[in-house]
Amino acid sequence: MKNILSPSILSADFNILGQQIREVDEAGAEYIHIDVMDGIFVPSISYGMPVIKSIRKTTQKVFDVHIMITDPIRYIEEFAKVGADIITFHLEATDDAMAVIDKIHGCGIKAGISIKPGTAVEELLPYLDKVDMILVMTVEPGFGGQSFIPESIGRVKKVRQMLQERGLTTDIEVDGGIYTENVSNVLDAGANVIVSGSGVFKGNVSENVKKFINILQNR
């Protein structure tokens, strides 16, 4: 499995969003993490299809779209049309997760499934061989800048163990409170796709990306 950095634009400066996306692109980040929040599944509202369509022209890097929205199947086709390469939805946001996975794959893109910190990792069991990525939230979804939940380490380890027992090498993504100071802990636990917002966009963006990538490439 390859270790991948996915900077979250939720923490970017939207006054210069295109410029900052180019910075993380040129510094070597492979994914761009795009958090879509509806104000219902999570309290916050972020941005939607028009923003994704606009920034798609800025970079060819993978658009890692994390939709924190109720009844996600309603919008899968639209997110695919505006440039999503991966769509990750929340298990807790739908009554028919398999239908959402099939809808995403039917659009010709990768499907990810995410769980909140309070959801048992065993709830993922029916979908382990159906998805391309599993996102283990390491904070409560809906707000940037939160502190990492330490118990997340054990949850990531358990998901990796469940995958290995089934002969699967599926990507495990982590999102929330990840900085260069603690990223090694989640990598050691079995995560390989690292989302960081504040850890990338606060301060020197290019240098922050390079510091992350140096760690990821040397694990």
Identified catalytic residue from 35, 38, 64, 171: 35
- Please, are residues 212 and 194 in contact by the beta-carbon 8 Å criterion? yes
What pLDDT, on the 0 to 100 scale, is given for residue 1?
A: 87
Under-70 pLDDT residues of the chain: 143-145
Task: Give backbone dihedrals phi and psi of 81, rounded to 5 degrees, phi first.
Answer: -65, -35
Tokens 């090498």, located at residue: 169
- Per the structure block, which two tokens stand in for 217? 């490439």
Task: Give backbone dihedrals phi and psi of 115, rounded to 5 degrees, phi first.
Answer: -130, 145
Using DSSP, state whether 29 is helix, strand or coil.
coil
Cα–Cα dist 42/68, whole Å? 7
What pLDDT, on the 0 to 100 scale, is given for residue 219?
A: 81
What pLDDT, on the 0 to 100 scale, is given for residue 144?
A: 65
197, HSE (Cβ side, Cα atoms, 13 Å) = 23
Alpha helices in 107-181 (DSSP H): 152-165
Identified catalytic residue from 71, 102, 175, 188: 175
Domains detected in the chain: 4-217 (3.20.20.70)
Residue 35 annotated to the active site? yes
Task: Give backbone dihedrals phi and psi of 152, rounded to 5 degrees, phi first.
Answer: -60, -30
- Which residues, 6 or more positions from 86, have their beta carbon under 8 angstroms from its beta carbon? 31, 62, 63, 64, 65, 109, 110, 111, 112, 132, 133
From 205, 131, 198, 194, select the one nearest 163 (Cα to Cα): 131
Residue 96 annotated to the active site? no
> What are the pLDDT digits (tens) for 153-178?
999 999 999 999 999 999 999 999 99
First to last CA, the chain: 11
- Calculate the alpha carbon distances from 91 to 55, 187, 192, 208 in Å: 27, 23, 20, 31
Using DSSP, state whether 48 is helix, strand or coil.
coil
What pLDDT, on the 0 to 100 scale, is given for residue 191?
A: 98
Binding residues for substrate, by number, are 8, 66, 142-145, 175-177, 197-198
